Structure 1
Amino acid sequence: MKAKPIISALALLLLPLLANATHIAGGYISYSVDPQNPRMYHFTQTVYTDVASSAADPIVNVSMGDGNTVEVPRTEIKAYSKQNNVNRYSWSYTYTSAGDYIVAWIGANRNMGQINVPAPSDQKSYYIYTSVKVNPLLVNNNGVKLASTPLFVAYTGEETKHNFISYDADGDKLTYTLVTPKEGTAEGGGMNIPGYAFPEGLTIDKFGELRWRAPALKGEYAIAVKVTEHRNGQPIGYTVVDFYVHVVDRAQQPTLLLLNQDRLVVNYDGSILARPDQPLKLEYFLRNAPGAAFPLYARQFSDLDTLDLASPSIIVRDSAGGKAVTLTLTPTADLVRQEPYITGMRGQADIDPEQGTYYPSYYFDWIYAYLIVGEQQPTSTEGDLAKAGFLLYPNPISNRFVIEAPDMPAMRVQLIDATGKAVGVLSLKPGLNHLTKPAALSGGLYFYTITSRHKPIGTGRLVVQ
């Protein structure tokens, strides 16, 4: 690593003219603080590139936010898929004084023809950055890191979900915001890309799960997510993950299903209850596209094993039309916390590109589970259900009861006893649902969670006489 003056204004102005499509797929910057010196930071910049990229730089220049840049050689390059490589650049840097700094890299230009970036998008550079608060009295030992990647494909006319599984090794709370991507300026800083448009229907939830509701227009989109760390209710740092996503027509992508969802204890917010020292089993089915017989593979990504907190085991077995996949995890009492752990299961079909095409050569499907390790599930009030249009009566019940439901798709009510064990699942339809008490319900207090398409609407309490 070598420190040198900030890149010249002339070089920045000429940057868009020096390259065409560079096929940078995205990137972010992470860090940890040296345990012996609170002003020394160990940084890693991760850059995702297409395998044919001309932007797989052996050396990058990174602005440290204090008037200096550092010249950093690439320390690692490895394949993520037939389509993408992961490039990493690592270095250490000591700040001379406390303060707030923006550590940033100005990459080569973005790809041509990005749908939500004003033309010419290939005249816009990447600006990948993270916030560093150097404060010996409040040390943020670790910045945000990713256990997975932001690399995924969305499909026209259907909902797409993806989570790059951000985590903080200090256990700080993380929040997620879609932000406008930045480009480099002539002064070496960053500015929001003028005229940028957020993709219609794209949202991100409190777990960091991106959901894109039925994208319609095929092509490449630029997306940026700000991940903020909070401690004692105060923000203490953030990083921005900048990447692109292709929207394409569905072709021969495999389908990954979580089969035992109804036998798990699902909390009101969609997280899954995992009890300390009790095995938790997630059962999946990875199905080939109709009429296809491509080789199928499964792999899990999680902050649990990334941080060496637990070792989930995976068993993959042949099954008619695909693969049966079982993930087993036994969390210890040391893992109890309010924030969920995230595990992502990736199903993959090994498909060669069609004749004359380049993208994609791999097809993936993902399912994510958000695990709350504890003894009791979080609950919400019946008010959440009432606002959504649900009504259960009578309560207490003896043998039969009624649930009035609004017009929502794929509704179910899951019944959970006081120990957190799932004891029954009933399907609901819009309107009046005349239901009979499941035989497994004896007298006592129960919780019930109503879901639509497996997304929890709310939780209530039910008394059985």
Structure 2
Amino acid sequence: MNLPLLCWGRRLFLGLTLAFLLLLGLVPRAQGSHIRAGDIQAKSDTTAARNPRRIFFKMILYTARSSPVKQESATFFFGDGTNIQNVPRTGFAQVSADTDINVFYFEHTYNALGQYNVSFVGELRKANILNMSPPTDRYEFYIATRITIDPALGINRAPVLTAPAIDKAATNQVYLHNPAAYDADGDSLTYELAPSQRTGSLADDIIKLYNNIVRPTDIPGFQYPNTRDAPGVQVPYVNATVGAKSIFQINRNTGLLVWNAPSSSSVGEYNTQVIVKEWRRVAGARPRLIGQVIRDMQIIVEPSTNLRPEITIPRDICVVAGTTVNGAVTATDPDRNPVDLFAYGGIFPPATFGQTSLGPPTARGTFQWNTECNDVRRDPYLVTFKAQDRPVGGNSPLIDEKVWSIRVVGPPPQNLRAQLISGSGARATLTWDRYICQQASQILIFRKEGPSNFNPDSCTTGIPAGLGFVQVGAVGANLSSFVDDNNGQGLQRGKTYCYRIYAVFPLPKGGESIASAEACVTISGRSALMRNVTVDRTDANGQITVRWSKPTSSAGFTEPAGYRLFRATGQSANPTQQVYTTTNLNDTVFVDTGLNTVGTGYNYRLEFFTAASTTPESVGPASSVLLTGRPDQGAAGNVLNWTYNVPWNNALQPTVIFRREQNSTTFTQLATVTGTATGGTYTDRSVTSGDTYCYYVRTIGSYSGENLPKDLVNLSQELCIRAAPCTPVLTLRSLNCDSLSSVGSASNVAFPPADFTYTNRLTWTLDSNNPAGCNPNGIVYYRIFYQATADAPFALIDSVTTMSYVHRNLPSSAGCYQVQAVDNIGQRSNLSNQACAEDCLFFLLPNIFTPNGDGVNDTFVPKISSPVRRITFRAFNRWGVKVYEGNQDPRINWSGGGNVGEGSSTPRLADGMYFYQAEVEFLDFNNTKRTYKGWVQINR
């Protein structure tokens, strides 16, 4: 039968298209099933060169013994666009009846600092994995380890997963697995579950087609085993709710994975990821995530008449470095089968564990660890113990696992002594024995007034905050003395000072010692005492009165020759400006004028000196009471806060709040509040919307101890508050995507042009009831905030007096806005709602271009395109061979050249049809990515 030429042309085109799609990866690929689990370890260069960019790796794969496929070599991707192929297996051993372990070593030197994902893409997974969408034998096996190359990290070693992933699950029984990870640097580890992932291509295709770029995605239809297994219920186990819906979860801190429990319908194979995250502690900052290890593991559920053994381990303990830790581990089996005991963790060796009997009735093992100073760290050491039975009748072994926590702390410093320095009663000398653990970084010195009955146990390190101790110094761990002169101000007379010290250990391991025994010293006489720092007048030219008491003399301490008073602006600032001096010892009052007391606090320190000593003694500091306030953002009311920094206690008697209402000249008592050591707060709900209210507070303080001043009255400045401006309600005019698309479709040139810009138009009103009692009057301008991308902060871009705004000359319409009202006394409203604009996502490539140099249609560019951040464009000939690739020009601008990438002088391609794939990253708020495939004709 003869077919018309047109039909043959269509058949040829369809055939070529099919061939191209097959070359893109849609053809069936070789299948395999031997990999059961795996993970990759990493460490930085430990050779003499110490190159921070040179990283050593070790991959462990667990494979099925029954499979004819043997993993004798592997390909790895380093996350920087490079790979290493045919890495030979260097270790191979049987770890269980049906599982082998395979070990691969390799290394790589990176060209730049940064974070990289080092990955292995194995064979296709087995068919019929139950917690994935079928067909599961089309999904690649994928594991990876993330590393951070940063010289500031020093020698860094990734987490090591010491326990093999080989245990079977049985129906209607709890399944357990613990990777038993440890970090040799002492970094903190956390555990998470995650879906198993695929890469879309095997290693050879990633190298040939995707420039070594691995793009893992969650496997379609992935479900955690308990979610898929709807009939499953919990069975008796630690903290289990028997009969409740089954659970599949991992302990974030210990790594113990629990599936409680597979049901009778769960028989089959499952996969999941366990992610171990590595956190580096940094002084003065939150822990930094510097790496993670992904273990992808298989769980095989079988029907079984075998019952799990039960293991018993010692209770969690804390020990002082240098202690020998001994522990007895036992296990019994309900079927009276012998039981093998195992121990996993980062302390083997030097720790040891040996089994002394298999049972029945009881399997026994002995643990021993001789701890050292180098073992001190903040996090406990975790030892995972596993009991595995030896069943009969063809059943698979089952296990029980538990985790023992051992925290190693530093020994307390010994023989702390405190004594007065000869010739001066205002300083104390502390001495102690040289600290036994010289790995420590510092000895911290703490002081409190009066003795304590603190008696720490082996789990209590440092000094708890509630005991009243304050840190007064720190010295290197190699030192054994310290002089306390109260930061140059001298210790106050008439008081007993008690000291304790403890050691801290360097990061990243961290850790502390137990605190030392207490050493006390009593200083005779009585210092002058600050009594008042009270605001007399609230004004830019205001006034504060300062009072103090006269010191008393005693043996070895003569009366001072005079006083010097110092002041600082700010409640916590160090008073260094001398504002008063006198030799009249009965003159204990100073009136400080010319101060801006409207919204500023002041701090004072008194210094007194004697003829017998060249070192003056000092008391204080003592600050004024500073009152701040604002309208409540959530409801009608005014929120008041006050702060102070004083040597007496203002918390023993209530603070009194006074208020003056609008159009009144008199303050009346409003409420009383119990303050704290540093201040207090109160919310006045009895207000009328729009009215102005003025406040001040009165504190009443006392010194602790007999014959010391009490009932010390101090006033804050006066503060007036008016209701906050009402919150704007923002509207953003949406972009007409249809009109833009039609303009591009009707144009004979690419749209939008390169210089095209967007305009966003904003309008707003005021919500007269947000917050309740807000003030819609007196607004003088509005602040406009803009967020260009989802991960960018809102930034102030303009201020206007009208209730509308036009944002012009934008490269993209995408972005979010907020507006804030400001009234004539500077008060700001709540931020408005967020109003966001989205780019129109349209992208159309032509089917023909004519690169003949006539200046018309010479390059291949989008006919219609939303703003684009990046396009990775690849062209293929009819046999699926890639002839061009570029990713630098967001408008493609392909001139029809071949063989190499953009920006090079290359031979032009022959006229004809080519297939393309364009991976487009749009410049929209959500960073949308889409892939477009099609064909284009080159005609010259």
TM over 0.5: yes
Q: Give the counterpart letter for 2:368 in structure 1.
A: T
Helix, strand or coil at the partner of 2:347: helix
Alignment CA distance shift 1:337-1:17 (3 Å): same
Q: Is the 8 A contact 2:339 2:358 kept in 1?
A: no
Q: Give the counterpart letter for 1:157 in structure 2.
A: N
Counterpart pick for 1:202 among 248, 258, 266: 248
Q: In 2, Cα distance between the equivalents of 1:253 and 1:50?
A: 24
Counterpart pick for 1:227 among 256, 276, 298: 276
Q: CA deviation at 1:219?
A: 2.1
Q: Deviation string for 1:334-361 (max 9, x for gaps)?
A: 322221212122323345772xxxx83x
> Within the alignment, does 1:329 sit opposite 2:364 as a pair?
no
> Within the alignment, does 1:369 sit opposite 2:380 as a pair?
no
Q: CA deviation at 1:363?
A: 3.9
Find the counterpart in structure 2 of residue 258 from structure 1: 312
Alignment of 1:242-391 (within 5 A): 242-253=296-307, 255-258=309-312, 261=314, 264=315, 266=316, 272-290=317-335, 292-293=336-337, 295-305=338-348, 308=349, 310-317=350-357, 319-351=359-391, 354=394, 360=396, 362-374=397-409
Helix, strand or coil at the partner of 1:251: coil
Counterpart pick for 2:158 among 143, 162, 174: 143
Q: In 2, Cα distance between the equivalents of 1:46 and 1:277?
A: 35
Q: In 2, Cα distance between the equivalents of 1:286 and 1:12?
A: 55
Alignment of 1:80-95 (within 5 A): 80-95=95-110
Q: CA deviation at 1:155?
A: 3.2
Q: In 2, Cα distance between the equivalents of 1:240 and 1:213?
A: 23
Find the counterpart in structure 2 of residue 387 from structure 1: none
Q: Is the 8 A contact 1:285 1:323 kept in 2?
A: yes
Q: Deviation string for 1:4-36 (max 9, x for gaps)?
A: xxxxx989937963124x131111111111132
Q: Give the counterpart letter for 2:254 in structure 1.
A: F
Q: Is the 8 A contact 1:12 1:184 kept in 2?
A: no
Q: Is the 8 A contact 1:15 1:109 kept in 2?
A: no
Helix, strand or coil at the partner of 2:96: coil
Q: CA deviation at 1:91?
A: 1.0
Q: Give the counterpart letter for 1:374 in structure 2.
A: V
Alignment of 1:81-230 (within 5 A): 81-139=96-154, 141-186=156-201, 187=210, 188-200=214-226, 201-205=247-251, 206-216=253-263, 217-230=266-279
Find the counterpart in structure 2 of residue 425 from structure 1: none
Q: Structure 2-normalised TM-score?
A: 0.35
Q: Is the 8 A contact 1:16 1:124 kept in 2?
A: no
Alignment CA distance shift 1:68-1:277 (3 Å): same
Alignment CA distance shift 1:69-1:38 (3 Å): same
Q: In 1, Cα distance between the equivalents of 2:339 and 2:27?
A: 42
Q: How many residues align?
A: 353
Alignment of 1:37-116 (within 5 A): 37-71=51-85, 72-116=87-131
Q: Give the counterpart letter for 2:296 in structure 1.
A: D
Q: Structure 1-normalised TM-score?
A: 0.69
Find the counterpart in structure 1 of residue 44 from structure 2: 33
Alignment CA distance shift 1:346-1:302 (3 Å): same
Q: CA deviation at 1:169?
A: 1.2
Find the counterpart in structure 1 of residue 713 from structure 2: none
Q: In 2, Cα distance between the equivalents of 1:74 and 1:16?
A: 27
Q: Give the counterpart letter for 2:248 in structure 1.
A: L
Helix, strand or coil at the partner of 1:194: coil
Alignment CA distance shift 1:234-1:57 (3 Å): same
Q: In 1, Cα distance between the equivalents of 2:392 and 2:97?
A: 9
Helix, strand or coil at the partner of 2:25: helix
Q: CA deviation at 1:41?
A: 1.0
Q: CA deviation at 1:140?
A: 5.7
Q: In 2, Cα distance between the equivalents of 1:418 and 1:139?
A: 35
Q: Give the counterpart letter for 1:171 in structure 2.
A: G
Alignment CA distance shift 1:193-1:312 (3 Å): same
In structure 2, the gaps of 5 or more residues are 1-20, 202-209, 227-246, 412-454, 460-940
Q: Deviation string for 1:183-228 (max 9, x for gaps)?
A: 1224443211122112321111122111222232222211101211
Q: In 2, Cα distance between the equivalents of 1:191 and 1:319?
A: 47
Q: Is the 8 A contact 1:253 1:365 kept in 2?
A: no
- Quote the RMSD (CA, aligned, Å): 2.8
Alignment CA distance shift 1:55-1:33 (3 Å): farther
Q: Is the 8 A contact 2:78 2:119 kept in 1?
A: yes
Q: Is the 8 A contact 2:267 2:303 kept in 1?
A: yes
Q: CA deviation at 1:245?
A: 1.0
Q: Is the 8 A contact 2:340 2:387 kept in 1?
A: yes
Q: Is the 8 A contact 2:186 2:377 kept in 1?
A: no
Q: Deviation string for 1:404-438 (max 9, x for gaps)?
A: xxxxxxxxxxxxx96469xxxxxxxxxxxxxxxxx
Alignment CA distance shift 1:92-1:172 (3 Å): same
Q: Is the 8 A contact 2:40 2:57 kept in 1?
A: yes
Alignment CA distance shift 1:10-1:124 (3 Å): same
Q: Give the counterpart letter for 1:204 in structure 2.
A: I
Helix, strand or coil at the partner of 2:137: helix
Q: In 2, Cα distance between the equivalents of 1:17 and 1:276?
A: 57
Q: In 1, Cα distance between the equivalents of 2:65 and 2:96?
A: 9
Find the counterpart in structure 2 of residue 18 from structure 1: 30
Alignment CA distance shift 1:371-1:10 (3 Å): farther
Q: CA deviation at 1:172?
A: 0.8
Alignment CA distance shift 1:158-1:63 (3 Å): same
Helix, strand or coil at the partner of 1:113: coil
Q: Is the 8 A contact 2:73 2:88 kept in 1?
A: yes
Q: Is the 8 A contact 2:40 2:293 kept in 1?
A: yes
Q: CA deviation at 1:230?
A: 1.0
Q: In 2, Cα distance between the equivalents of 1:249 and 1:281?
A: 38
Q: In 1, Cα distance between the equivalents of 2:112 and 2:341?
A: 47
Higher relative contact order (CA 8 A, sep 6+): 1
Helix, strand or coil at the partner of 1:208: coil
Helix, strand or coil at the partner of 1:303: coil
Query: Larger C-alpha radius of gyration, 1 or 2?
Result: 2
Helix, strand or coil at the partner of 1:343: strand
Helix, strand or coil at the partner of 2:221: coil
Q: Deviation string for 1:150-194 (max 9, x for gaps)?
A: 222233334333211111111111111111211122444321112
Find the counterpart in structure 2 of residue 238 from structure 1: 292
Q: Deviation string for 1:90-118 (max 9, x for gaps)?
A: 01211122232221111111122212111
Helix, strand or coil at the partner of 1:19: coil
Q: CA deviation at 1:315?
A: 4.4
Alignment CA distance shift 1:180-1:140 (3 Å): farther
Point out the more displaced range, 118-127 or 131-140: 131-140
Q: In 2, Cα distance between the equivalents of 1:11 and 1:330?
A: 61
Alignment CA distance shift 1:42-1:318 (3 Å): closer
Report % sequence identity: 25
In structure 1, the gaps of 5 or more residues are 1-8, 267-271, 377-416, 422-465
Q: Is the 8 A contact 2:184 2:346 kept in 1?
A: no
